Amino acid sequence: MAAVILVVVALLVTVVVLLASTPDGSGDGESPLQAFRRGLRGRRNPDAEQVAAARAAAVEPVDVSLGEMLAANVERGEGYVSVDELAEPLLHARQVAARVLPGRDAGSSDDDASRGVLAAR
């Protein structure tokens, strides 16, 4: 019996939360309860707006490959970050890493540096 009471209380709390979180309907001063009831009525007898929304949701998606989608959305011109803006911070980060990691030399190649770190361990 206690489980039934808990379920009923949970359902009531759910309804209260749904009603409280319902945005104002059409902006004509409709209360959340009226908007909720209008939505329930609309499931049986949908108005033109609801029918149009249902038709838009039922349209089959277009099957496009990833390459076509990316090609269609290419932005022309300069990007958000240019290579010149990244060069100096990357050089600085490499110099800091060379000071922190033993056996790393900022001027050596990556192969030499990795061997130096491995040899130091």
What tens digit of pLDDT does each residue of 44-85 get? 888 888 889 889 989 888 888 999 988 888 877 777 777 888
Q: How many residues does this entry show for the chain? A: 121
Rounded CA-CA distance 8/14 in Å is 10
Q: What digits encode the pLDDT tens for the residues 13-45?
A: 999 898 788 665 556 677 777 877 888 888 888
Rounded CA-CA distance 65/71 in Å is 10
- Asked if residue 117 lies in contact with residue 103, where contact means CB atoms within 8 angstroms, the answer is yes
Rounded CA-CA distance 44/15 in Å is 20
What is the pLDDT confidence band of residue 117, given thresholds at 50, 70 and 90?
very low
